[in-house]
Amino acid sequence: MDLYQLRCFIAVAEELHFGRAAARLHITQPPLSRQIQLLEKSLGCTLFDRNNRHVGLTHMGENVLKEARLILKLADQLQYSAQQRIDGVVGTLRIGFTAVFSWQFIPQLLKNMTATFPGLDFELDEQVSQKQISAIEDNIIDVGFVRHVPPNPLLTYLPLTKETFVAAFHTDHPLARKRKIPLSAFNNEPFFCYSQNEARIFHERITDLFTFNNISPHYKYQFTQTHTILGMVSAGLGCAIVPASARTLNFPHVAYINIEDANIQAHNFLVYSKSNPNPALPVFIQAVRDMLQQSASAAPESAG
């Protein structure tokens, strides 16, 4: 017994005529009769009462018809579900990201993805960039949103956005009302920096900038996450340099000021393995590309 035999049986049961059933299946009558015979032999029962003028279902045929319809419905659902997974619109995608992406980018992206591909599930894991790279290499996550891209020919990187750094001072600080300040304003100021280990890229960019310009802040503590640094600034314990997107965190008592003589930028990337077999990955990558394109198209209107 196979699914084709069940389809033949259902056609004859619904038409109660071998000729019409054969036409419906786009075959001739002899092969159709053969399929019914094979099915009856497989089940060990007669499914039709038939003579030269009449075709009718037997009692067993009526019961088999109910089961056959259910089996074909389940088979069709299985085929559809499998195709959905092959197409990448049903399945699970494991996503890593640094904290900055959780402020706006990841929530908006997931909102779009959920609306467009409701069959996709997401596992989220907030990690610093280097841990994400290792997790992708070890197939622990499928894709990562990172701040830097170490050279690795097995990985693919998609540039996303870039942003400048700004100064963060408590609103009671004398510099808080300035629109711009020189880098020298940080000299001898109590300063919170990014961790040398967990946030090495930001740490090196900021400390190198100070060293190159012969500026010596009073380094206090090092932290991995921007929101932790801003919490310290908000408490009036010191100042910092953070990505401009930190404004969206709306920390109280924190003023963000442009730095006039320092061109320091943060770059954001999407990274994944070239050999990742997850069919949902290409769908996700395209959704990110579409989101970036929409943002770029909307930018001139927003500026106006």
The pTM score is 0.64
CATH of the domain at 189: 3.40.190.10
Query: Is 91 within 8 Å of 279 (Cβ atoms)?
Result: yes
Query: Is 141 within 8 Å of 280 (Cβ atoms)?
Result: no
Q: What is the mean pLDDT of the chain?
A: 88
pLDDT at 291 over 90: no
Please indicate, yes or no, whether residues 167 and 260 belong to a single structural domain of this protein.
yes
pLDDT at 116 over 70: yes
Please indicate, yes or no, whether residues 212 and 149 belong to a single structural domain of this protein.
no
Query: Is 283 within 8 Å of 84 (Cβ atoms)?
Result: no
Please indicate, yes or no, whether residues 121 and 195 belong to a single structural domain of this protein.
no
pLDDT (mean) for 201-226 = 92
Please indicate, yes or no, whether residues 139 and 277 belong to a single structural domain of this protein.
yes
Query: Is 130 within 8 Å of 199 (Cβ atoms)?
Result: no
Which pLDDT score, from 0 to 100, does residue 31 have?
Answer: 92
Residue ending a domain, choose from 86, 101, 133:
86
Query: Mind giving me the DSSP string for 45-81?
Result: S--EEE-SS-EEE-HHHHHHHHHHHHHHHHHHHHHHH
Strand partners, 180: 258
pLDDT (mean) for 164-185 = 94
Question: Which residues, 6 or more positions from 50, have their beta carbon under 8 angstroms from its beta carbon?
Answer: 18, 56
Task: State the virtual CA torsion across 246, 228, 136, 155 in degrees, nearest 10.
Answer: 40
- CA distance linking residue 46 with residue 66, whole number of Å: 15
pLDDT at 5 over 70: yes
Please indicate, yes or no, whether residues 150 and 281 belong to a single structural domain of this protein.
yes
pLDDT at 236 over 90: yes
Q: How far is CA 83 from the centre of its chain?
A: 20
Which pLDDT score, from 0 to 100, does residue 101 have?
Answer: 84
CATH of the domain at 27: 1.10.10.10
Which pLDDT score, from 0 to 100, does residue 178 have?
Answer: 93
Please indicate, yes or no, whether residues 254 and 240 belong to a single structural domain of this protein.
yes
- Residue numbers of the domain that contains 257: 163-266
- pLDDT grade for 239, boundaries at 50, 70 and 90: very high
Query: No. of H helices and E strands in the chain?
Result: 9, 12
**Token reading at 294:** 């929409």
pLDDT at 300 over 70: no
pLDDT at 190 over 90: yes
Strand partners, 158: 270
Please indicate, yes or no, whether residues 12 and 64 belong to a single structural domain of this protein.
yes
Residue 91 dihedral angles phi and psi, to the nearest 5°: 145, -165
- Of all residues in the chain, the percent with pLDDT exceeding 70 is 95
Domains contained in the chain, number: 3
Please indicate, yes or no, whether residues 174 and 234 belong to a single structural domain of this protein.
yes
Express each pLDDT in 63-97 by its tens digit. Answer: 999 999 999 888 887 777 777 676 667 789 999 99
Please indicate, yes or no, whether residues 244 and 184 belong to a single structural domain of this protein.
yes
Give the position of tokens 């890593």: 96
Give the torsion sign (CA, 253, 258, 263, 267).
positive
pLDDT (mean) for 93-120 = 87
pLDDT (mean) for 237-249 = 92
- pLDDT grade for 169, boundaries at 50, 70 and 90: very high
Which pLDDT score, from 0 to 100, does residue 84 have?
Answer: 64
Which pLDDT score, from 0 to 100, does residue 88 have?
Answer: 66
pLDDT (mean) for 131-144 = 93
Residue type at position 108:
Q
Task: State the virtual CA torsion across 126, 132, 137, 141 in degrees, nearest 10.
Answer: 20
Which pLDDT score, from 0 to 100, does residue 94 have?
Answer: 95
Please indicate, yes or no, whether residues 241 and 175 belong to a single structural domain of this protein.
yes
pLDDT at 299 over 70: no
Among 263, 266, 222, 223, smallest CA distance to 244 is for 266
- CA distance linking residue 213 with residue 242, whole number of Å: 18
pLDDT at 241 over 80: yes
Please indicate, yes or no, whether residues 136 and 273 belong to a single structural domain of this protein.
yes
Q: How far is CA 242 from the centre of its chain?
A: 26
Please indicate, yes or no, whether residues 261 and 179 belong to a single structural domain of this protein.
yes
